[in-house]
Amino acid sequence: DSGVTQTPKHLITATGQRVTLRCSPRSGDLSVYWYQQSLDQGLQFLIQYYNGEERAKGNILERFSAQQFPDLHSELNLSSLELGDSALYFCASSVVGAAADYTFGSGTRLTVV
């Protein structure tokens, strides 16, 4: 157990729907990163939060949004889902937002049908 908790582990939903993925960072970590990994692809950086504030944004679609709450957990909201959104979504956390300290969660596998 890495200490980073992602729920749910698996999610199957239909096109056009909206889902919320949740990430609880390791105790004491202030920063959360979201990555998307499509089949046979590398991890694509989506967004970073640090202590509740957005710190960096990557290739995140306008249909996707995220936030980090006062208790430091984060949610990634995916709306108007398309078949191409099917992927593994990973969350990583670090203490002070330092990439050298990444800890990954086990991921959420999203399947859009």
Partner 1 sequence: GQNIDQPTEMTATEGAIVQINCTYQTSGFNGLFWYQQHAGEAPTFLSYNVLDGLEEKGRFSSFLSRSKGYSYLLLKELQMKDSASYLCAVRDRAYNTDKLIFGTGTRLQVFP
Residue 49 exposure: Cα atoms within 13 Å on the Cβ side: 23
The answer to the question of residue 102 lying near partner 1 (CB under 8 A) is: yes
The answer to the question of residue 107 lying near partner 1 (CB under 8 A) is: yes
The answer to the question of residue 14 lying near partner 1 (CB under 8 A) is: no
- Name 77's Cβ contacts closer than 8 Å, sequence gap at least 6: 18, 19, 20, 21, 64, 65, 66
The answer to the question of residue 51 lying near partner 1 (CB under 8 A) is: no
What is the distance between the alpha carbons of residues 101 and 98, in angstroms, rounded to a whole number? 6
* Residue 20 C-beta: closest distance to partner 1, Å: 20
From candidates 33, 68, 72, 108, binder to partner 1 by CB under 8 A: 33
Question: ω before 70 within 30° of 0 (cis)?
Answer: no
From candidates 27, 71, 83, 100, binder to partner 1 by CB under 8 A: 100
What is the distance between the alpha carbons of residues 78 and 98, in angstroms, rounded to a whole number? 26
The residues binding partner 1 (CB under 8 A) are 2, 33, 35, 40-45, 48, 55-56, 58, 88, 90, 94, 97-100, 102, 104-107, 109
